[in-house]
Structures are given as C-alpha cells and as structure tokens.
Amino acid sequence: MTWQGGKLRLENSRALPFARLRTLAGPQDNAVKSINQLSKALSGFGKAVRLHIRLVSGAYGETVEHWDVQGGTKRGKATKAKPKGPNVVVVMRRETWAHIAQGQLAPYEALYSGKLRVGGDFEVAKAIVKHLTDPSAPYVAPC
C-alpha cells in the first residue's frame, strides 16, 4: 500500500550509522596533539594530499586557527599556517574537531548536521575519511 501515491515506507528500516574515525586523541588532548596524530595517520594515505583545517572558536566565530596538514608521504606533517593549494578545506568548531578526533562523532554525521563544512575535492575528502575510519566499524559511503 502506498501513501498518497508515494512509495511504501518501511516501518522497521534503520539507516546504518556512519563510521567514526579511529581515535586520534584522548579526552585531555588538545587540538595540536590531535592534528599531529591526524598527519601521522595520513602518512600512509597512498598519494600526496594537503588539508586546510580551519578551527573556529568564539561566540560568533571571530577566531580562526589555520592548520596545514600534509599526508601521503613517509612522514605526515602538520603546521599552524594557511596552506597554499590544499586539496580539501575543512571548517569546524574546535569542539567538533575534539569529538571527531576522540571517535565520538563521525565526520559525515558532523557534515550532515551542519557542524562541519568541506570544500575542495570531495572525492579526496571521502577517500581520506575511508582511510581514517575505525577498522572495527563498517564504512558507509555518504553517496
């Protein structure tokens, strides 16, 4: 049976949750340590990649901290600076990054809830998330 000409809705169907990243930081770790862990985790990415992470703080987003994270090389590298020519730009609040780095929030959940914004090459961004996904959780692609 359909509802007003639409498709039949499955009452008991549940969407699979998006996988969280493997843990990059503990509850007491700061952004510097977790972003350095991110660069180390991206060292085995397979191809050179550069992320521009913007961590926003303040009541109205008046403070922005820029991070240049390089991966895909033998040693990942993270520096507090605006990168030139990043593949992916990620913008979020410091609290959102802390939840993602601690494995409490999946990046796609943050994206779809408006807590995170992504610019640049979205295919590279998806590959990065897949590379960093916790191996014990099934990876679910966003589209």
For 106, residues 6+ apart whose C-beta sits below 8 A from its C-beta are 17, 18, 19, 20, 21, 100
Mean pLDDT of the chain, nearest integer: 85
- Per-residue pLDDT tens for 41-54? 998 888 999 999 99
* Bridge partners, residue 54, by sequence: 66, 91
pTM over 0.75: yes
For the chain, domains (ranges, CATH) are: 31-131 (3.30.1050.10)
